[in-house]
A and B are shown apart, each in its own frame.
Chain A
C-alpha cells in the first residue's frame, strides 16, 4: 500500500541551528515528492518538489531536500533556522491514484527555541 511516514511528531531546534525533517515513503514506482509548510490556521504552501533528475532539490525560504531511492526517503533540510520557520511541515507523495491525488504524512511540528 502507498504510504508516507514522518517519524517525528515534534522537533525542537534552536534558532540558527540546522534542521532535518524526515520523510519515508512506500510506493510502487518512482514517486513525485513534495514538501509543504502550514502555519497555524493557514493553508499549505509548497516548499519544494521532486519529479525527476537531480536528487537534491532547492526550494523556497532556504530549504532543500534530497531524494534517496535506496532508502525511500525525501528528507527536508535547512542549514540555519529562523523563528519564522516555526510551523507544521508535511511530506506528500503522488500520484496516489489515477487522478493525481496526493498521499500525505501526518506532519512534523517544528518548534524554534530562542
Chain B
C-alpha cells in the first residue's frame, strides 16, 4: 500500500487563526480524501480532493472554511480557516487504492483550538 505522510502531527492553535495540513503520498493516486474524527466518534468525510479541479465537499462542509488544494497526484493540503474550539478534532488524509474502495490513511493531525 501507499506510504502517506501527513503533517503536522498535532498543533494547538488560537481561535480565529488558520492551519494548513499537508498530505504527501509516495505514489500517484487518483483519489484523495480528507476526513475528520471527533473524540470518541467515527469518521466524517469532509471532501474529496480532485487533481486539477475543485474539491468535492460533503454536506455541512464548505470551501471557505476548509479550502483544499491538489496540485498533483501525490500531494494535497487541507486548511482549517478561522478556527473555533468546535474545530478541535483529528484530521485524516486518506487515499484509495485498487478500484477506489479500499482506503489507507495518513497518521493524522490532532488539532486543538483554544
Pairing of A with B: no
